[in-house]
Amino acid sequence: TKSLKETLQEVIPGKQAQLKKLKAEHAQTVVGDVKVENIIGGMRGIKAMLWEASVLDPNEGIRFHGLSIPDVQKVLPAAPGGKEIIAESMLWLLLTGQVPTEAQTRQLSRELAEKGDLPPFVEKLIDSFPATLHPMTQLGMGVAALNHDSLFQAAYEKGMKKTEYWTYMLDDCINLIARLPALAARIYRNVYNPGTPLPALNKDLDLVGNYSTLLGFGDNHSLTEYLRLYIALHGDHEGGNASAHTAHLVGSTLSDPYLAYSSALFALAGPLHGLANQEVLRWQLAMQAEIGSDVSHEQIKEYLWRTLKSGQVVPGYGHGVLRNPDPRFTALQEFCDARPELQESSIIQLVKKTYEVAPGVLKEHGKTKNPYPNVDATSGCVLYHYGLKEFKYYTVIFGVSRALGALTQLVWSRALGLPIERPKSLSMDALEKLIK
């Protein structure tokens, strides 16, 4: 069985040759133009960065190395006794572009479990935080502190060669992903169940199986399976989203992956990005508290208009790139449709009913370019139904997941020798001079 590193070693030369050819033959080829609206509009629409593992189509949604969500659900190995994609098989696909065998997946699970313990000083650091500190702040600080053990940084200090960057980067990325369950679960324990003992990592479990166990839901097979799907599907969403892009930017300075991913987590913590999953739950529960569980379409419509008229966004709707319902939303809804207990859940029903009304209201409102749900519209309600009710924690789960894609690109960026990122900015005066 070839290991992940051996597989990457085989794949990298081909990609390096592809980049060399692109540079040699097409460095000056124009692939788009930049308008004033792009510069003042958050760079929306500008094709401006390399990202290997996935590409987002506005209408069809995400493809991981060309594979759609239904494709990966068919081909990627699941956990023993499970059906949903696991983080290890998604990580393998993202990093190598290849579908791992069952044996490779199990080998990676074991490696992650063996490397998953936190250094005692990080445990102490996390334990010193007040329970009132937002879980995302705690996660970002914990990840940054893990850079104490960065192999990339230590090798850089010793003067490693550029050709060696990616191997140290890969080792750091695997160590970081391995430690995320213990870190994220410790935060959950400290904030919501202080004093509860945390079990040791089980070397025979997959990454998310261990995470679910540490959270206290190891006996809940349905929730563990949901977490597996959730974490695999949130893993990568091409490179321009705020968290992935932040990791890419910070990593381009040759900052180690702990610092780069910690920065990414603070981008994910914003309500227009990953925090939206917390906001959706808060908003849907407030709707339920006000109108009750048995709501009509008319009542939801009225509530939506009230949200919009008060100047707030409808959380979980709209997207910077997508122009159709997010296929991740669809996949998570399908998970619910296949389980009778979820079909009876009042919060899941409310999310569904909201979806029947919100696109029409948002179209009538006429501002958002995409009136359809993104993944955050539904991701939290299943957690809530199965008893993981602390919605301030939801973005942490997203943060455990996004490491798969953001760290994959850090390995590729170093393997391809990509430079420090440094786009050109302009003042309005300078822009006006360009226009004249």
- CB closer to ligand NMX out of 22 and 272: 272
**At its nearest, how many Å lie between ligand NMX and the CB of residue 401?**
11
**At its nearest, how many Å lie between ligand MLT and the CB of residue 283?**
18
367 binds, among ligand MLT, ligand NMX, none (CB under 5 to 8 A by kind): ligand NMX
Q: How many residues does the chain have?
A: 436
Q: Are 319 and 374 in contact (CB under 8 A)?
A: yes
Q: What is the DSSP string of 312-377?
A: ---TTB--SS--S--HHHHHHHHHHHT-HHHHT-HHHHHHHHHHHHHHHHHHHHT--S--SB-THH
**At its nearest, how many Å lie between ligand MLT and the CB of residue 346?**
27
Q: Is 319 an annotated catalytic residue?
A: yes
Q: Is 429 an annotated catalytic residue?
A: no
Q: Which of 134, 234, 273, 385 is catalytic?
A: 273
- CB closer to ligand MLT out of 166 and 329: 329
* H-run or E-run covering 224: helix 221-233
Q: Is 297 an annotated catalytic residue?
A: no
Backbone angles phi, psi at 414, to 5 degrees: -75, -35
**At its nearest, how many Å lie between ligand NMX and the CB of residue 211?**
20
Q: Which two tokens stand for residue 60?
A: 């069809």
Backbone angles phi, psi at 57, to 5 degrees: -90, 130
Q: Out of 7, 255, 278, 374, name the contact with ligand MLT by CB under 6 A.
A: 374
- Annotate each residue in 264-303 with x if it binds ligand MLT (CB under 6 A) or - if it does not, as one string: ----------------------------------------
- CB closer to ligand NMX out of 214 and 300: 300
Verify binding: residue 179, ligand MLT, rule CB under 6 A. no
- CB closer to ligand MLT out of 237 and 414: 237
Spell out the alpha helix ranges (H) of 60-201.
Answer: 69-75, 87-96, 102-114, 120-127, 135-145, 151-158, 165-192
Residue ranges that bind ligand NMX, judged by CB under 6 A: 44, 272-274, 276, 308, 313-320, 367-370, 374-376
**At its nearest, how many Å lie between ligand MLT and the CB of residue 398?**
8
With CB atoms as reference, the residue minimizing the distance to ligand NMX is: 318
In order of 39, 287, 378, 389, the CA distances from 354 in angstroms are 34, 10, 10, 20
Q: Out of 320, 373, 380, 399, name the contact with ligand MLT by CB under 6 A.
A: 320
Rounded distance between C-alpha atoms, residue 50 and residue 165, angstroms: 18
Which residues share a beta bridge with 414? none
- CB closer to ligand MLT out of 134 and 237: 237
- CB closer to ligand MLT out of 320 and 371: 320
Rounded distance between C-alpha atoms, residue 206 and residue 137, angstroms: 26
**At its nearest, how many Å lie between ligand MLT and the CB of residue 320?**
4
Q: Which of 234, 319, 326, 385 is catalytic?
A: 319
210 to 269, contacts with ligand MLT by CB under 6 A?
A: 237, 241
Q: Is the dihedral of CA 243, 359, 42, 18 positive or negative?
A: positive
276 binds, among ligand NMX, ligand MLT, none (CB under 5 to 8 A by kind): ligand NMX
Q: Which of 332, 264, 225, 244 is nearest to 54 (CA)?
A: 244
CB atoms within 10 A of CB 197: 7
**At its nearest, how many Å lie between ligand NMX and the CB of residue 231?**
14
Rounded distance between C-alpha atoms, residue 227 and residue 332, angstroms: 10
DSSP at 85: B
- Report the catalytic residues: 273, 319, 376
Contact residues: ligand MLT, CB under 6 A? 237, 241, 320-321, 374
